[in-house]
Amino acid sequence: MQHTNHLAKETSPYLLQHAHNPVDWYAWNSEVLEKAKAEDKPVLLSIGYSSCHWCHVMERESFEDEATAAIMNKHFINIKVDREERPDLDHLYMDALQAMTGSGGWPLNIFLTPDLKPFYGGTYFPPVKAYNRASWKEVLYGVANAFRERRSEIEEQANELTAHLQNANAFGTKKITSVNIPNEELFLKHHADEIAANIMKSADKEWGGFGQAPKFPQTFTIRCLLQYHHYTKNEEALVQACLSLDKMIEGGIYDHAGGGFARYSTDREWLAPHFEKMLYDNALLVTTLSEAYQITKKEIYRKTIIETLQFINREMTSPENGFYSALDADSEGVEGKYYTWSKQEIDELLKEDADLFCSYYDVSEEGNWEGVNILRTLRSKEELCSRNQLDLAAFEKRMQHCLSMLLEKRTTRIAPLLDDKIILSWNALMNTAYCKAFAALGIEAYRSAAVNNMNFLLEKFSHMNGSMAHVYKEGVARYPAFLDDYAYVIQALIALQEITSDTAWLEKAKQLTKYVLLHFSEEETGYFFFNPVGQQDVIVRKKEVYDGAVPSGNAVMAFNLNYLGIVFDEKSWKEQSIQMIAGMQEAIVRYPGSFGVWASQVLNFIKGYYELAIVGKGYGKARDLLLALYVPNLVIQAAAESNRNFPLLIEKSTKNDETCFFLCKEYECMAPTANPLIIQQLLSEMAYNTIKEITNR
C-alpha cells in the first residue's frame, strides 16, 4: 500500500504532489503549529509552487528518499506550503531568507523555532554536496544539532531576525494628514523625466527588456514608458517599450504554436524560458499589449492579444468561468518537452513546407537549445519573403497553417501538469486584461468573458460578512483574502464598469474599498497591511510596496482610492491616495524598475485626471469609440440619462436624443459637446486650452 502523509487531504496540486512522500508533511494549520510547540521541535517550512522546476528536482532527489525523510521526520515538524495559497507566509519568510543570505528563490526551505521565528534557511539543496552547496542531509543534521546544543544562540538569532522584519516594515511612519497642496507641487514635473531616465539606464536597446539574464517581462516598466511617451512624445521611450514587446513576441518566451507567454527567459535574447505559464504573467502582458496597440495600432500586438486569450480560453478557463493558475514547465520529468521540437519531427509533419518553416522559426538539426528547438523568429517575415520572392499574405497563411498542425500534434503529447486552483487576485488581473483587450480591440467575447468571470468570483469567493476568500477549488473557497485580492478585484470592477457602464460594479468596488479600509489599514500611515487584522498565524503583518511579479497591493489601492474618490466625490479617499504616492515618491523616482505601478501614478498626477461623462441614448457606441484611445489618466462614466448617485452623471441633460460629452479636468469643465472628434482630439493630448476655446465659442 502506498504511503500517504497529511497532505493527502489537501486540494492544492502542489501539496498533493508531495502527499506520497515518505516525509511526514503537514499543511500549515493551527493543529500542526500547536504540535511544534508541544513537542518543542524546530519547524522545517518548505514553500514552493506546482510549476516550479527546482521544487520538483528537490522532491525527486530528497523528499522521495526514505533515508532523508527519516532524518526530517525524527528532528523536525515538516510543513509544506503552496506559496500561491499563502503568499503572506511566502513574502514573510522570503524576506527573512534574503536578510540571512542576500538572495532568495524557490524552493524556499527555512527553519523556524516552535514559535515560528526564522533562524536558518536556503533554497535548493542537492542530495550530495555540489554547486558550492552543502548537501540537504548535512543541512538537516547541522540544524538539528545546533537547535539541540546551542538553543540560546538559535533563539537570539531568531529574535534578531524577527525584529529586523518588523523594522523593515516600518516605512511610511509619518501620520497621514489633510492634503491641500496642489498636485503639481507634490509631484514635480521634472520627476517624470527622472523616472524615464532611470528606467532607460537599465534598458537593453538591442534585445529589449531591462538588465541582463534572466529576463522578466517587467510589464509595469514598459507601461510606464508608454505613458511617458504619451505625455511627452518622447520617441526613445516608445521605441524601448515596443522593442521589449517585439522581442518577447519573437522569442521563445512566447508560445508561437499555442499562444501565451512563459514566466521569464533564462537568456538575454528571450530564447529559452523556464517553460511554466502563469496566469498573472499572461494577464499583465495582455494589458500591456492592449495599451501598446492603442498607441501604435501594430498588427502584431493585436494578433498576440488574440492568440494569448485563445490560449487562456482553451487551457486556463474552468467550466465555471474561473481562470486556472498555471501550467508546469515539465512533462514526463523533462523541462520544456511539451513545447520543443526536433527538426525531424517538423520535417515529417510539415513536409514541403518544412524548409520554409524551419528557416523562419530558427529550427535546425542541432537545435537551438539543449539539442532541441524552441520556436522563435530572428528575422522579419518581410525580409524572408523578399529574399525568397514570396507573397507576404500567402506566406503568413502558410505559416499559420503550419503552426496549427504543430499545435494539433502537440495535443497528442503528455501535457504538463495544470494547477487548477483558482486564485482571486490572479483572476482579477486577468479580468482587467479582458476589459483592456475589449477596449483596445472591440471584440465582444472579451467583454462577455470579463462579466462572466466577475459574476463567478463574486458568487464563489464572497462571504456573508463582506469578506472574500483567496483561493477556490472543487467547490470550496479557502483562506481569508489578502490585500492583493481585494485591490485587484476593486481595480477589475472599475475596468468592468468602464466597458459596460453598469454602475453596480462601482457600487461593489466602493463596498470592498470600505472593507479594506476597515480591516487592512495602518491608520498612522495610510498604507495597508497584506493580512487582515486579527490573523493569528503570522509573526509580522507585512506592508508590501514593491511592484514585483505582480503589482503591489498598496500601489493598486492608491489608484483605486483616487479613481473611486473622483467617482463618488470622496475627498478623503483622494487625499489618502495622494499621500500614499507622495510618501513613496523618492523611492519611485530613484528606482522606477521596482515601483513601476507607483511610477505610472506619479505621471498621472503630474498630468492631472480627465473626468468624462457620456450621456444619451447612444452612450454605448460613443463610449466604446473613446475606449479605443490610450488615455491612462481618464475617469469615464456613460449612461442613457442623468444619475444623481454619481457626481459625474448629476444633471447631465441632452437635447433631441443626442449623445453629449461632458469633460472636466482639474476643476475646469468645458461646455458640453455632441462632437466626438473634439473629445478624441483632447483625449489624444492635443492642447487643452485650444480645445476648450473651440468648445466654448
pLDDT band at 178 (very low <50, low <70, confident <90, very high): very low
* Domain ranges (residues) in the chain: 6-168, 183-332+419-607, 339-412, 610-696
Is the domain covering 6-168 a CATH 3.40.30.10 domain?
yes
DSSP characters over 337-372 = TTT-B-HHHHHHHHGGGHHHHHHHTT--SS-SBTTB
d(CA 581, CA 555): 8
pLDDT tens digits, one per residue of 307-341: 999 999 999 999 999 999 999 998 998 999 999 99
Mean pLDDT along residues 140-149: 95
Q: How do residues 419-447 score in pLDDT, each as one tens digit?
A: 999 999 999 999 999 999 999 999 999 99
* Assigned CATH for 183-332+419-607: 1.50.10.10
Write down the pLDDT at residue 24: 97
pLDDT reported for residue 697: 37
| pLDDT over 50 (residue 52) | yes
Cα separation, 638 vs 477, in Å, equals 35
The residue type at 641: E
Res. 691: pLDDT tops 80? no
> Do the domains spanning 6-168 and 183-332+419-607 agree at the CATH topology level?
no
The pLDDT value recorded for residue 583 is: 92
Report how far apart, in Å, the C-alpha atoms of 114 and of each of 32, 89, 102, 620 are: 10, 16, 24, 59
Q: Residue 425: which H helix or E strand, with range?
A: helix 424-441
pLDDT digits (tens, 9 = 90+) for 513-523: 999 999 999 98
Residue 485 contacts residue 477 (beta carbons within 8 Å): no
